[in-house]
Chains A and B, each alone.
Chain A
């Protein structure tokens, strides 16, 4: 029975023995549940860009977790100067760096660094961004004024420049956690701004008023009703932010204030290869490709998520 009939159901009494009750006066409980997330999934699964980016991300994660499966070469101890700038040979598909290190092995081992910086920064951005954005947007008033101004301050220092200062000062403590902290501490305001704006839109909805009317506490309303309904744009911003964090780490390492040479990092490899750009450009190109592909896959994922989660964006696609 189509939904057309149901709209007239108020004046229609069906002979009970002929029509099942559910078709007359109730919404079909067994029907497909349709909400933002199922719609988004239905949209996502049809898009090749979603599958390409997902497969790439799964592959990169796999490389980062189990580098030993992809290369048997140790990342740094296997460097012999007699191989300096050597071309590809059996077992060393991408040749050697000036120091005689296996390029492919360094790239494989660098994946974990980029990914872990990206993930730690993302966690930081989520925790700080959601806390600031949710409290500012939901409670408003002076809470909003104070938190938003604090956000403005952090937003006004471009996060790579801030991280340059932090990393210059903490030169004795350079590792994955410190660099992620330096980036994450200044990268969260864009997330909190997006969440705040979304909460301002959501918090006047009927279901929030209903929850208030039946006496649900303010904090519980925020947690159970407002946040879950305003989290979609945050997911989009954070996915793209993860890509930004990976670029930031590589940029800092490239500038020499990121990770020390003892830690495999694509930024370090690119930085080392630049001195030999004329003679052996491929040692610079290969880590650059790895870096760009990783960044590309997260940005692609962020973009398809944005299209899927924002019906308005779908219109301009």
Chain B
């Protein structure tokens, strides 16, 4: 177990340096004046230009620039946003909101996805199963911003069941509609994964043994079938975390949720390059940590993982 943890953590180190280097490289090695390009179509004030050049250490050799930047990340310094606020301060303010939104989405997609997937798997080929498959296919094909606008128009503007944009302080009740939208990204995948692993485990020996021992269906389904079907769902959630972050960016932007994603969304829309880069870096780092934690957690759940070299 210790060996596995050590190996997994060691593996994460080159990936950490690689990803940060890659982002840094993309920003500062692509053609054109990096600082000018960061402004997009806008013409910056020369004083701002000078200040930015000094801030990004552009007068020093490339590798020194990168190392200074990495040093900043380790000290929790992710740079300064376009409006002059430290990114870490913005994060401290916006992260709790995003966490609440993600929590709502996660609960909805897990509960609905696993429930629908379980029923589909147990009634393979029946009407419920086929309709669930069609619905999931539609959800997979709809880009998140289309779902967001349709839900916003139908449920908030037309039916008036929720507010079209989130109010100040982001109360839980306002977060439900964007949470549902965010949940639709992974709902279909969770439903399909659960379905196919339920079908697979239903045919396995231990399920037959349980049945022949005289255990009731009511015990076999949750304890023997469902529990064994959940491992791929957990893995999927970790791998799919990147999609969730992109989804959160778009959803928070459309519903004006004051979270991390919305900050990135506003920065992208306004062409505020430095803020975009800082927040993308932060999101990539969060993604790395989540995957590391899930991999370790997964090894605790499933002994087979730690013994595989």
Contact = CB atoms under 8 A, between A and B. Distances in A.
Interface of A: 149-150, 152-154, 156-158, 160-162, 164-166, 168-173, 243, 247, 250-251, 254-257, 270, 274, 277-278, 281, 284-285, 288, 291-293, 295-296, 299-300, 303, 313, 315-316
B284 to A, nearest CB: 5
A168 B38 contact: yes
Contacts, number: 148
B242 A277 contact: no
A170 B26 CA distance: 10
The 6 closest A-B pairs by CB, nearest first: A158-B242, A153-B18, A296-B141, A288-B146, A171-B40, A316-B199
B268 A169 contact: no
B66 interface: no
Contacts of A255: 250, 253, 265, 268-269
Given A270-B146, A274-B149, A169 B30 contact: yes
A315 B204 CA distance: 13
B37 interface: yes
Interface residues of B, dominant DSSP: helix
Contacts of A270: 145-146, 149
Interface in B96-148: 124, 137-138, 140-146
B50 interface: no
Contact of B143 (A164, A247, A256, A313): A247
Given A149-B11, A158-B284, 9 more contacts: A150-B18, A152-B15, A161-B242, A168-B38, A277-B153, A278-B157, A288-B146, A288-B150, A316-B195
A278 B154 CA distance: 10
Contacts of B277: 165, 168
Contact of A170 (B30, B200, B250): B30
B55 interface: no
A164 B269 contact: no
Interface in B246-275: 246, 250, 253-254, 265, 268-269, 271, 273
A161 B245 contact: yes
Contacts of B41: 171
B288 interface: yes
A97 B276 CA distance: 31
Contacts of B283: 158, 161
Interface string B274-309: 001100100110011001000000000000000000
B108 to A, nearest CB: 21
Contacts of B137: 296, 299-300, 303
B143 A257 contact: no
Interface in B188-210: 195-196, 199-200
B143 A165 contact: no
B19 interface: yes
B40 A158 contact: no
B22 interface: yes
B141 A158 contact: no
Contacts of B146: 270, 288, 291-292
22 contacts: A149-B18, A150-B18, A153-B19, A156-B284, A157-B23, A161-B246, A161-B280, A166-B30, A168-B273, A172-B32, A250-B143, A255-B269, A270-B146, A274-B149, A284-B153, A288-B142, A288-B150, A291-B146, A292-B146, A296-B137, A303-B137, A316-B200
